[in-house]
Structure 1
């Protein structure tokens, strides 16, 4: 990345005010070195993805510890695994009640999972403050999230809370600006799908033309593939 930035014109680099990245320390260090004037923003998708990975780790670790084996299809926590990863507003009242009551009925396993799930939802409440200017409300939601994680006795939740705290300046930049790299990630996905559908490209020129065709409609009338 630094080598590529070194080849770009300095006036172009100076126009870059924000850089949206995933939670990679290497990318953050590269941006700070190559674009010291730019503000680093963490895309909220990766923050929620981190929370969902934490939930999966808690489920597997708790099941292995309390049941002495891996999860099975008949276990309540296994049946609820997909609903745990969904947003609360995407669950109907019936789906939420079923998940909640089934996990409560499992005892310690369910209580641990629900504690981790609440931590994820508190983090989502914090991220939902994107493009708002009420710093007091944002600070209060951050305090609620960190306090909940600190009070629970779940190592995975506490570890993720420390990670969120270390990345707070970049997450706060997202809340303030709402900037995301969703468009570039979508374009990258279309490029990969085009290459997969073609079972790979042997001609780089044809690959570039095909990439432009699938990623923009305006360019289709200006392309003349041989």
Structure 2
């Protein structure tokens, strides 16, 4: 840069302290941190007493330590000298206003809070890493960042606007026997359906029951509930009942993933039962039924020649006829969902439901159970074909992101912290905090 112009370093601007109403008057660099001595910008109005209106005179100074945004990942501490005044009239004592720099009694500056919140939400940093970069304790960083996240993001009523499609599912938040391990997650699927963006976590409720979901819905404004059009869910009847009672105008859609899994589970139970009846033991490596366990779950249009030969050999044995019948229903269900023409797909699914609800032999106990379930939830299953783009798949993907969050934090013991961290991590706030990120 031959034409570059260099000026005297201005630490106040470089460290963005002018935004906080502070001026740097000195610095001290240590091996593990940087300390900046600051004073509060002069304000003539601060010299006058708010009680009697008389002018105050300087009395003394106090020092306040604030953790600031790290510079080059070196922890930065602000040593703020605050002047105190004493009124010449009534004797009242007050100090310079530092509310621009930090909240009262806070240990982090407002810039540090913003930096930590962006790091948590956009960069997916752990609280331990943030605490290390700010040179504060884990509790201090966690309490401050979660409080700031709740104030700036979670308590914003605008985040519930425009929600027309939601998904609901259960999620295991801790894998221990102590206390309730399930939470109910509610996902905003509107952006995914409209192809305007990814889905986002809307709320997380402790417990997994009809009452948990019903209570959350009842707490929402009536206008918000009236705007909901679709609720995607799995086969849990508690979610279905809560939706029917609180959202009578909304359409319940049973997610294709869970419907297919019902058929897949029926196929697995049938295979295990036949295996036990024929051989008297669970599947082993050399047993044909056990060797074909994964091939049976592969779509018929995706089978390789080797897989087709394996299934042909398997079904040539008359002892495996029950498995073949259940496999046929499973493949019909997959084919209905893969049908490009939704009207045709709905017709195929309707025919399948009718075929497994009437005239199924008593020996096919798994298909009879599947038929009862499909008959009970037929309207919800068929609603998928009338609501294109509505799927609880993004909800399942959200569960994966929450699993990653819990793993990076090495587990959670506090449900309140877990809910707050989950909402910040997957609540769709990245673009708001950092417009440069997608």
Q: Note if contact 2:353-2:374 (Cα within 8 Å) is conserved in structure 1.
A: no
| Deviation of the 1:14 alpha carbon | 0.6
Give the secondary-structure state (helix, strand or coil) at the position aligned to 1:133. helix
Note the aligned Cα RMSD (angstroms): 2.7
- Structure with more helix by fraction: 1
Kindly indicate whether residue 429 of structure 2 is the aligned counterpart of residue 221 of structure 1.
Answer: no
| Deviation of the 1:20 alpha carbon | 0.4
Please give the residue correspondences for 1:1-226 in structure 2 after superposition, counting only pairs within 5 Å: 1-101=213-313, 103-108=314-319, 110-129=320-339, 132-134=342-344, 138-139=346-347, 141-144=349-352, 146-147=354-355, 150-152=359-361, 153-178=363-388, 179-201=390-412, 208=420, 212-213=424-425, 216=428, 217-219=430-432, 221=434
Aligned residues: 218
Q: TM-score, normalised by structure 2?
A: 0.45
| Deviation of the 1:24 alpha carbon | 1.2
Give the secondary-structure state (helix, strand or coil) at the position aligned to 2:431. coil
Q: Distance in 1 between matches of 2:409 and 2:385?
A: 40
Q: Note if contact 1:131-1:176 (Cα within 8 Å) is conserved in structure 2.
A: no
Q: Distance in 1 between matches of 2:399 and 2:348?
A: 36
Q: TM-score, normalised by structure 1?
A: 0.83
- Structure with more strand by fraction: 2
Bigger CA radius of gyration: 2
Task: Choose between structure 1 and 2 for higher RCO, CA contacts under 8 A separated by at least 6 residues.
Answer: 1
What are the ranges of 5 or more consecutive residues in structure 1 without an aligned counterpart? none
Q: Distance in 1 between matches of 2:348 and 2:343?
A: 13
Distance 1:39 1:198, change over 3 A: same
Q: Note if contact 1:41-1:173 (Cα within 8 Å) is conserved in structure 2.
A: yes
| Deviation of the 1:201 alpha carbon | 3.9
Distance 1:181 1:29, change over 3 A: same
